[in-house]
A = this chain, B = another copy of it.
């Protein structure tokens, strides 16, 4: 199962070259991840962050085709690895049939003192339903 996040390329994401400024893609990736926890896992980040943080520790992205103002993107997300305290995610953004970028990230759950902390059982169960590959 994958999670799909719609993202229109609005004015604020575009640079003087008329295309998405790539640091904004990482905002979109983060927004998609937040929506995944909220909408797919039933774990809103504003609740999650009361007890823990989930910093991203590694991210690798390939920008394969430019996106322009007005493009309707779909950012698809799957869980590629679910560790005891870590989580690896894959992303693919498409506009129609064209892939615009792919990315892989790893984040870690830590408690408020910075120590790695296992995923709670209910969240682990919800995450495990999204383990797979992006088609």
Binding site for B on A (CB under 8 A): 10-12, 14-19, 21-24, 26-27, 29-31, 34, 44-47, 49, 53, 55-64, 66, 68-70, 114
Are A55 and B62 in contact, CB atoms less than 8 angstroms apart?
A: no
Are B46 and A70 in contact, CB atoms less than 8 angstroms apart?
A: yes
Copies of the protein in its oligomer: 4
Are B46 and A56 in contact, CB atoms less than 8 angstroms apart?
A: no
Interface of A is mostly: mixed
Are A11 and B45 in contact, CB atoms less than 8 angstroms apart?
A: yes
* Top 6 A-B residue pairs of the complex, sorted by shortest distance between their CB atoms: A46-B70, A23-B26, A60-B60, A46-B69, A14-B16, A17-B53
Are B55 and A16 in contact, CB atoms less than 8 angstroms apart?
A: no
Query: Could you list 20 examples of A-B contacts with CB < 8 Å?
Result: A10-B34, A10-B45, A11-B15, A11-B21, A11-B30, A12-B27, A15-B16, A16-B18, A17-B55, A19-B53, A21-B30, A23-B29, A23-B30, A45-B69, A46-B70, A55-B66, A56-B63, A57-B64, A58-B62, A58-B63
Q: Give the shortest distance, in Å, between A97 (CB) and chain B (any CB).
A: 19
Are B55 and A19 in contact, CB atoms less than 8 angstroms apart?
A: yes
